[in-house]
Amino acid sequence: MPPENPRRGMPRLYKGKTPIMLQTERHFFAPGRVNLIGDHTDYNGGLVFPAALNMGTYLAVKQYDDADSCRFVSENDSAEFLIRKEELSQKRKIWVDYPIGVVKEFTDRGFPVSGLQFHYRGDLPIGAALSSSASIEMVTAVALNALNGSPFTMLELVQMAQHAENDFVGMNCGIMDQFASGFGKKDCAIALDCNTLAYEHVPLEMRGLKFVIANTNKKRGLVDSAYNQRRSECQQALEIIRAHRPVDCLCQLTMDQFDTVATYLAGNVLKRARHAVRENENVREAVTALKVGDMVRFGQLMNASHATLRDDYEVTCPELDFLAERAQQFPGVLGSRMTGAGFGGCTVTLIAENQVEAFVETLGKAYEKRFGLRADFYVAEIGDGAGGVMNAEL
Can you list the domains of the chain with their CATH numbers? 26-201+383-393 (3.30.230.10)
Nearest to 49 by CA among 301, 232, 218, 271: 301
Residues forming beta bridges with residue 199, ordered by sequence position:
192
Give yes or no for a contact between 130 and 34, defined as CB atoms under 8 angstroms apart.
yes
Residue positions annotated with a catalytic role = 177
Give yes or no for a contact between 182 and 29, defined as CB atoms under 8 angstroms apart.
no
Which has the minimum average pLDDT: 14-18, 105-109, 158-162, 173-177? Answer: 14-18
Total number of residues shown for the chain = 394
Q: Is the dihedral of CA 141, 146, 148, 151 positive or negative?
A: positive
Half-sphere exposure of 227 (CA within 13 A, CB side): 22
What local confidence, expressed as pLDDT, does residue 153 receive?
A: 97
Cβ count within 10 A of residue 322: 19
What confidence tier does 109 reach under pLDDT thresholds 50, 70, 90?
very high
**Mean pLDDT, range 273-300, rounded to an integer:** 96
**Mean pLDDT, range 70-83, rounded to an integer:** 87
What's the mean pLDDT when you consider all of the chain?
A: 90
**Mean pLDDT, range 236-246, rounded to an integer:** 97
Residues forming beta bridges with residue 349, ordered by sequence position:
212, 336
Half-sphere exposure of 372 (CA within 13 A, CB side): 0
Q: What angle do CA 220, 226, 229 make, to 5 degrees?
A: 155
